[in-house]
Amino acid sequence: MSAITFNNIANSSGITDETISFPKTWCLTQLIKGVLSPCYFGTRSYTPSRCANCGFNNKTVKLSKHGTKLSRITLSKTNNLPTYLFLKKQRFLCKGCKTTFIASTPMVKRNCFISKRVIQTLAAEGQFITSEKDIAFRQSVSTTTVNRALHQWSPQFKPNY
Ligand SMILES: [Zn+2]
């Protein structure tokens, strides 16, 4: 994909991971949780340098592509609408330890489906607003997520002023 297209998508969606590739139709409005929401579609695939489980590098053990896994990631709202990224992530099979692992993306923490930018927004709002329920409603995430963003994750995502 050309740099111009990637920049267009990055600007409108906040998707910053340049290893994500986009199909021809990269944004559609879909009904999610009863709300018409802008949805982006992308695929994350790359050649891993080592197995995420046993740690052997790809010169020692064979890492082969082994299907994909689709996850829905919550992005920052656009025009006050909940926005999602449907990300197809490459799954790899390690011939060394016979286990599989999934391509990670720097946009989200491992096993987390909220983009780091949203967590940053939650942490920033937490400084001015007391109701976690209110933040959760406005950002379309659960109150548990807000609570964790404020008390567990926020030291890693302190916004720079
Ligand atoms: Zn392995």
Report CA(23)–ligand 1 centroid distance (Å). 30
Structure tokens at 152: 């567990």
For the chain, how many structural domains are there in total? 2
Q: 161 and 91 in one domain?
A: no
* pLDDT value for 1: 55
87 pLDDT tier (thresholds 50, 70, 90)? very high
Report CA(63)–ligand 1 centroid distance (Å). 8
56 pLDDT tier (thresholds 50, 70, 90)? very high
Report CA(17)–ligand 1 centroid distance (Å). 25
CA distance to 66, 91, 100, 104, per residue, from 96 (Å): 14, 15, 10, 20
Does 131 or 42 have the greater pLDDT score? 42
* Domain edge (last residue) among 80, 106, 132: 106
Q: 19 and 83 in one domain?
A: yes
Report CA(105)–ligand 1 centroid distance (Å). 19
Which 3 state secondary structure label does DSSP give 44?
Answer: strand
Which 3 state secondary structure label does DSSP give 78?
Answer: strand
Report CA(42)–ligand 1 centroid distance (Å). 26
Which 3 state secondary structure label does DSSP give 21?
Answer: strand
* pLDDT value for 68: 92
The parent domain of residue 9 ranges over 3-106
Mean pLDDT computed over every residue of the chain: 83
Which 3 state secondary structure label does DSSP give 33?
Answer: coil
> What percent of the chain stands above pLDDT 70?
86
Report CA(99)–ligand 1 centroid distance (Å). 6
Q: Is residue 118 pLDDT above 90, yes or no?
A: no
Query: Whole-prediction pTM value?
Result: 0.68
Report CA(160)–ligand 1 centroid distance (Å). 38
Average pLDDT over residues 51-64: 92
Q: Is residue 127 pLDDT above 70, yes or no?
A: no
Q: 151 and 88 in one domain?
A: no
Beta bridge partners of 101: 92
Structure tokens at 88: 């197809």
Report CA(116)–ligand 1 centroid distance (Å). 28
Q: 86 and 31 in one domain?
A: yes
63 pLDDT tier (thresholds 50, 70, 90)? very high
Q: Report the DSSP pairing between strands 100-102 and 81-94.
A: antiparallel
* pLDDT value for 129: 55
* pLDDT value for 29: 94
Q: 89 and 144 in one domain?
A: no
Q: 97 and 39 in one domain?
A: yes
Report CA(106)–ligand 1 centroid distance (Å). 21
Ligand 1 ion: nearby residues, β-carbon < 5 Å: 51, 53-54, 94, 96-97
